[in-house]
Amino acid sequence: MPLAFIPSPSIGEIHLGPLPLRGYSLMLILGIAAAVWLGGRRWAARGGEKTVVTDVALWAVPFGVVGARVYHVVTSSEPYFGKGGDPLKALFVWDGGIGIWGAIAGGAVGAWIGCRRKGVPLPMFADAVAPGIALGQAIGRWGNWFNQELYGRVTTLPWALEIDPAHRPEATSDLATYHPTFLYESLWCLGVAALVMWADRRFRLDRGRAFALYVAAYCVGRFWIECLRVDEAHHILGLRLNGWTALLVFAAALAYLIAATRHAFDSRGDAASDRLLPRPDATSSPRS
């Protein structure tokens, strides 16, 4: 046992009268609220109305939650449809178990619907909300801390995470501290949010390039974090399924970023014909 470590919460929920409030669900709600708040500020800085982000989120969030849960259930189906599994628990999203890849795919479908209804281009909307999504992920990852799940290998580092015996792997049930991969990913996502905002200010990213940068940067962090995790997962050629997904999504995001950047340089003389909203000029207030 290290001299210093991060303790896990003794309880994962509190009761407000007859209603249970789970820490996992609370962090997801706070993450969504933060994403909408920052996305709204960035959208307003582009000349739009903050309420547009909220309106689109009403479509994107439900689709994202469904996509996230479907991805998790499909890629980790044994507890639900395997021997001794309970299919009904596939609906219990508050017990943990969502996949960011499904959340992005489902959320993109919902955002596309919302953007069409509001009459705004999806790439421009995605660029505005990209840092907010990363911020929301950083907050939402703390839900894993409440559930004592998705941690990494055994470690005695000062920032090791203490896991209760009931939540430890059988092979290391006598060892108490593990890499806090939820914390690593939370900090990484904060860095991704800062990177995208800086790059957007510096290079005036548009045509979906800010969103592509967010996706690519997130995938880099997710890949090395996946290499630390010890929870059960499908492996292909010795690599966890989510590791392969991170590689493939990174390649797709990078390819889009390069292609869109080339297109932006080729069409420099065209005064931002794909934008409906004006960017602030050099004399306006700083963008959020």
204 among the known binding-site residues?
no
φ/ψ (deg, to 5) at 261 = -70, -40
Is the CB of residue 179 less than 8 Å from the CB of residue 209?
no
Q: Name the maximum alpha-carbon separation found in the chain.
A: 66
Q: Which residues are annotated as a binding site?
A: 141
